[in-house]
Structure 1
Amino acid sequence: MYKIFSVLVLAFLLVACDPIKKEAGRLLTQEYPDLYEAVYARDGQALMEFTSHKDERVRMQAWQALINTPVNDITALIDLATKTDTRESWASLWLKELSEEQIERLNELFIASNASNIGLVSALGELGNSRSLELLLEEDVPPNQEMEFQLAYAIGRLTGNIEANEEQQIQIIERALSTTNSKASQAYLYGFYRTRNDQEKQGLTQNAVNKMIELWKNYYPDEIGSDRYIAALLMKDHSGLVFHHFIDKDFILMDVQLAIEIIQAIGRNEDNDTYAPVALNAFVQHKNPNVVIQALRVIAAKEDFAKEINNSLLNATALNIAVEPHVRLAGFNASVNPEKYIDDLLPIGTEDPYLQGLRYSALKKIWTDAEVFDYLVADIDTSQGLLYSFLLREMNTLWANADDELKTEDRVEQVHNILFTALERGERSFMMQALHSDENVVTGEDFEKLIALLNDKSVVDDIDIFRSVTSLLKNRFEEESEIMITQFYENAGHDLKQSLIAQEWTFIEDSLAPVTFREPDWDRLADLGPSPVWVLETKKGNVEITVDVLTAPATISGMDSLITNGHYNGVAFHRVVPNFVIQGGDVETGLGFGGPDYTVPTEASAAHYFRGKAGIASSGPDTEGSQYFFMHVWAPHLNGRYTIFGEVTDGMSVVDRITQGDIVQRSYWK
């Protein structure tokens, strides 16, 4: 009987959900294609017309598309945003340049409303002036938690751009450390935290700091965000107080983000409290690998700490075959006497491209530059693929920092051969900039050799080689190359022409062609539904991301083509920035500078980049491709500037444990 009931309930739920998918499918196949013609053209006027569309979801998407779309008449946009008065309509102003008169208009609109207008509040936070800050601080704390958070963030955002006076600083601190709304508490302090290392900013006054210390002693938020910010703000001059505040917490089990914040502050400080080595000892035993790695890096950078750290703990990382190679190599880098363990060090990470930086950093502590050079040359000679690229980067770094004693005639010849082999393989030029620039490595006699290398290759088959060689010619032989490059340019196809324009040859006057965006498969998106779940399998566990098709259809359509064809399988997380993001999806190179054979537009939204949000990396507006990232922490400076395509709904503990080089073994729709 129970089984029958369960089946009936499931059937009911499936039927109930169908209308949602059906409506999303209708929007995607019937309404969105016309809207996206305006998005792809970045036609501000056309998008403004879509803001009066009969469908609310289309109106919302049109407003969000306006965030990254130039608009000629800002006054008309403000008029329309005021009339519509939604969170999305006000978000359309976030990245626009407003005149002082237009900002004052927003101030007057706020006076006529109040903090309940969270869309207008968000616009003031992004665009406001000193009067905006005064007006926001005059508002009583709203009773609604979301309203308080938005007000707090607007205040916090403004204090990152505007110098708050002492009275305002104290008022903000009092609000932050009296509210029961943990998210709002963190948001109030955002500007102080964000600009804490900015030498051009006045920073908190001593009285404001004293008020923070006084109130923090008895403030225990439900979430760790404000504690992170306060720890970072106080560690420079009051590290002992910070350590004492957390004395009842087990540093070994401390929240990952708080632990990393404290470790990074220890690393920045020139003078630390005597308790700092004790804390680092504990952090080296933390269960999270990123905490351990960060602690070991600080120890490695501060010789006085290395002498005070318990050697048994370093041995437990460097010599412990049970921990991951990343941690072991960080342990060797932090060791006072790594030469004692050279036989243990040498086999670690030899085949992992992403570990070569740590590996060679440890070897440089043991060997002379000449010994490191010889070992690196042997590694390069026997490597392929991504490992070869990362080893080239190590050679570039070694050569850039080497003294003249290392650069003998024989070694110059070896580096010359390595460089030209790399050029023939089409390696990216930025990997070898120091080698390019050395006039002993690349001499005038090499000009003809470089031209011959171009003449021997097919542009269609060897576009990467052409890009690398022409980059070197631009760097070293621009004047001599003019005739040859002009001929190449006149006969080149679209891709090579765009590469040469991007290299900024002085005699090429053409501009880069407008980007052609990938067209979404609207029918396929309708089949996926509005909220499909994307699964990434890693050796550390699975990560599940619920994606938002109606907010980022172009992004998700492109990703779907990569997911269903297995292109994300075997691709590493090439970038891990603790307390910020993990980033992967470079399906082209794995280095973090590549992508797919398509481009999609930025699909901004009015949402915040909270912890767990999933975004798409870019090198500027409308340059998105395949690379994705997941947030460790709230990072509102990304709001409106990068596409949010979904949110991690299962597996954030896995995200926290991912280290650089961890592989996505398999990627698929659930």
Structure 2
Amino acid sequence: MKYLIVLAVLVSACTTSSEQSFNKFSDEKLIHIYELQDNRDAKALIPFLKAKKEAHRVAAALAFASIQDSIAIPYLNQMLQIDQDELPRRAAALALGQIRHPKALGILRSAFDAEFSKLNQRYILEAIGKCGDSSTIQLFESTVYTDSLLSVGWTYGVFRLSQKGLNSEKLKARMLEFIGSEVNLQEKMLASHYLYRYYRVNPDLDKQEIKDLVNTKNASEVRERLNLILEDSEARKSEEFNRPWLTAYSASNDYEKALKIEHLDENFGNPSTFLYTISLRDTTPHIIRNAAYSKYLKLYPNKKWNMVLKGLQSGDMALQSLACYEIHALGQPKYGTEFNKVRNDLLSELQKIKTSLTLPGEAETFIDVCKAIDKLGGDKFEGYQPEFNHPIDWDFVKMIPDNQIVTISTSKGDIELRCFVNDAPGTVANFLHLVDSGYYDNKFFHRVVPQFVIQGGCPRGDGWGGLNWTQRSEFSNYQTYETGTVGIASSGLDTEGVQFFITHCPTPHLDGRYTIFARVIEGMDVVNKIEVGDKILSIRRSDSRSN
């Protein structure tokens, strides 16, 4: 009998161990740290930076990569200086970079000199770029690293500076050298993205250096990105508005109709009445209505402001946002006769919309409206911070395997993802709740940008829809946007919802700005075939696999 009791105890122990081994969140103190992160309770997190357990100090430091509160800077500085373990110091460097405050610059430069870990120094260099100002350009111009990790860190730092609009001719020349040399792929990728941004900011610059480089052997791995620099951004398929066009339009599905509208050529035909009518008809499908409204504003600038007012009055949040974009783009105060006639009406309508929108579900349009009010001289917009409204279901999180696989079945084939519950527990839990409920069944991919992303999951089918909750941004990890990375779309910090996107290629400018929660493990060929209007037939959990 006693042997049976011992066996029962052993079985019970094994079962308990198994139940607690799905992921790292069997640690209740770790859950508490993540809860403080999710509640954005910076003050309560600070004591955990000195926790006895290294994993808890790391988690507390990384939490500030999501919270991004400058109150943590002196405490993270202390961690960089005195923590005896390598991982907490690395986490502190990442968090300081995410806070992006110039006060951290001196701290990071001192920490770099004192740090003995090359990998930590690599993250410090990137953080310096994120926190940098115009004076930081000279720092990067004057340094050259032969160590591969430090060279990668330098390249990341320069790229992060460029995201703030801080560039120089010397840095551009260094990036051209990287692509033409034998440096590793990561540096070439970052260099190509730096150059892409550089020439977008300076479109009139001569591109002969890119032309000379693009077909060389050393540039082969980043050739597609370099070709994007050389492409005419305005070059696109054009279609003439005529009877055959209308016949083809009538035979198309909604997404095809929207694309045909986008391709209408301003030099042929006069689609004014057609665009005006379907833009303002409430029964027009969202995706078509948005395309027609945008095209009308582009083709008929002399009638723009009256149409902007009608967009605001439409009651449709997509048209309201599109109308706001025109206001955001306003230049100096002398706008012209047509604008001056409707300026007061625009401001009045914007004020009405602001009070009528439902938050947090319509946060994107709310932000656009507030920016437009500010632009017209109304209330100054200081940013939008949604209230905490969607707590993490930790009992659900604990049961998610750390290698959970999901299969997206599409009209073009299947895509398999591996979810990162240890890195983004709240996002993965919300996504799997939606998956288990069948929410994504028969939704569409409404956005496809070649050499960038495919995006889907919108309940409206046009990118402006969501449910009436938002989740917190989760940047408390070292994940980066590589080929096949899956992120959650947002309108800014802590506004994530139900729409997700998958990258066609590395997209480093998204790092630390959009939560990463999964990566494609099979089916990138399908991702690359997806077009606007392709359907998500279903998303289902699959058996987990060993890492």
Query: Same-fold call, TM > 0.5?
Result: yes
Name the TM-score, length of structure 1 as normaliser.
0.61
Alignment partner of 2:408: what SS?
A: strand
Partner of 1:398: 296
Alignment partner of 2:461: what SS?
A: coil
Partner of 2:140: 133
Q: 1:397, 1:434 within 8 Å by CA — same for their partners in 2?
A: no
Q: Relative to structure 1, is the Cα distance of residues 475 and 61 closer, same or farther in structure 2, using a 3 angstrom cutoff?
A: same
Q: 1:612, 1:632 within 8 Å by CA — same for their partners in 2?
A: yes
The one of 259, 264, 270 equivalent to 1:368 is: 270
Partner of 1:212: none
Q: Relative to structure 1, is the Cα distance of residues 79 and 190 closer, same or farther in structure 2, using a 3 angstrom cutoff?
A: farther
Q: 1:570, 1:663 within 8 Å by CA — same for their partners in 2?
A: yes
Cα offsets for 1:173-220 (capped at 9, x unmatched): 55554435222333356544432332499x9xxxxxxxxxxxxxxxxx
Deviation at 1:603, TM superposition (A): 0.4
Alignment partner of 1:183: what SS?
A: helix
Partner of 1:592: 463
The one of 220, 230, 248 equivalent to 1:345 is: 248
Partner of 1:569: 441
Following superposition of structure 1 onto structure 2, how do residues 447-462 of structure 1 map, counting pairs within 5 Å? none
Q: 1:393, 1:431 within 8 Å by CA — same for their partners in 2?
A: no
Partner of 1:31: 29
CA distance in 2, matches of 1:584, 1:653: 17
CA distance in 2, matches of 1:243, 1:154: 24
Partner of 1:186: 189
Partner of 1:79: 78
> Is the counterpart of residue 267 in structure 1 residue 232 in structure 2?
yes
Q: 1:91, 1:123 within 8 Å by CA — same for their partners in 2?
A: yes
Alignment partner of 1:550: what SS?
A: coil
Q: 2:22, 2:400 within 8 Å by CA — same for their partners in 1?
A: no
Partner of 2:207: 236
Q: 1:179, 1:185 within 8 Å by CA — same for their partners in 2?
A: no
The one of 358, 366, 370 equivalent to 2:260 is: 358
Cα offsets for 1:344-380 (capped at 9, x unmatched): 734452x32464242463486653235xx24874798
Deviation at 1:662, TM superposition (A): 1.9
The alignment's C-alpha RMSD in Å is 5.1
Q: Which amino acid aligns with 2:448?
A: V
Partner of 2:331: none
Partner of 1:111: 113
CA distance in 2, matches of 1:557, 1:599: 13
Deviation at 1:503, TM superposition (A): 5.4
Q: Which amino acid aligns with 1:126?
A: K
Q: 2:261, 2:291 within 8 Å by CA — same for their partners in 1?
A: no
The one of 189, 195, 198 equivalent to 1:195 is: 198
CA distance in 2, matches of 1:511, 1:238: 41
Q: Relative to structure 1, is the Cα distance of residues 51 and 574 closer, same or farther in structure 2, using a 3 angstrom cutoff?
A: farther
Q: Relative to structure 1, is the Cα distance of residues 18 and 343 closer, same or farther in structure 2, using a 3 angstrom cutoff?
A: farther
Partner of 1:91: 94
Bigger drift between 354-363 and 62-71 goes to 354-363
Partner of 1:641: 513
Q: Which amino acid aligns with 2:410?
A: T
Alignment partner of 2:71: what SS?
A: coil
Cα offsets for 1:77-123 (capped at 9, x unmatched): 211133254332210001335457x5344323323346443332332
Partner of 1:227: none
Q: Which amino acid aligns with 1:345?
A: A
Name the TM-score, length of structure 2 as normaliser.
0.73
Q: 1:502, 1:512 within 8 Å by CA — same for their partners in 2?
A: no
Alignment partner of 1:23: what SS?
A: coil
Q: Which amino acid aligns with 2:71?
A: N
CA distance in 2, matches of 1:394, 1:622: 31
Partner of 1:622: 494
Cα offsets for 1:503-547 (capped at 9, x unmatched): 568799999785123122222222221221122111222111111
Alignment partner of 2:531: what SS?
A: coil
Q: Relative to structure 1, is the Cα distance of residues 340 and 180 closer, same or farther in structure 2, using a 3 angstrom cutoff?
A: same
Partner of 2:126: 122
Q: Which amino acid aligns with 1:369?
A: P
Q: 2:419, 2:519 within 8 Å by CA — same for their partners in 1?
A: yes
Following superposition of structure 1 onto structure 2, how do residues 261-410 of structure 1 map, counting pairs within 5 Å? 261-262=226-227, 265-268=230-233, 298=235, 300=236, 330=237, 333=238, 342=245, 345-349=248-252, 351-353=253-255, 355-359=257-261, 361-362=263-264, 367-369=269-271, 373-374=273-274, 377=277, 384=283, 387-388=285-286, 390-391=288-289, 393-395=291-293, 397-398=295-296, 401-402=299-300
Q: Which amino acid aligns with 1:352?
A: D
Alignment partner of 2:389: what SS?
A: coil
Q: Relative to structure 1, is the Cα distance of residues 571 and 400 closer, same or farther in structure 2, using a 3 angstrom cutoff?
A: same
Gaps in structure 2 of 5+ consecutive residues: 1-12, 328-336, 543-547
Partner of 1:316: none
Q: Relative to structure 1, is the Cα distance of residues 583 and 426 closer, same or farther in structure 2, using a 3 angstrom cutoff?
A: closer
Partner of 1:521: 393
Deviation at 1:156, TM superposition (A): 4.7
Q: Relative to structure 1, is the Cα distance of residues 501 and 607 closer, same or farther in structure 2, using a 3 angstrom cutoff?
A: closer
Following superposition of structure 1 onto structure 2, how do residues 167-178 of structure 1 map, counting pairs within 5 Å? 174=177, 177-178=180-181
CA distance in 1, matches of 2:34, 2:300: 53
Q: Relative to structure 1, is the Cα distance of residues 64 and 200 closer, same or farther in structure 2, using a 3 angstrom cutoff?
A: farther
- Percent identity between matched residues is 20
CA distance in 1, matches of 2:326, 2:100: 42
CA distance in 2, matches of 1:243, 1:508: 46
CA distance in 1, matches of 2:317, 2:224: 42
CA distance in 2, matches of 1:25, 1:43: 24
The one of 599, 603, 622 equivalent to 2:474 is: 603
Q: 1:611, 1:634 within 8 Å by CA — same for their partners in 2?
A: yes
Alignment partner of 1:665: what SS?
A: strand
Alignment partner of 1:63: what SS?
A: helix
> Is the counterpart of residue 68 in structure 1 residue 66 in structure 2?
yes
Alignment partner of 1:267: what SS?
A: coil
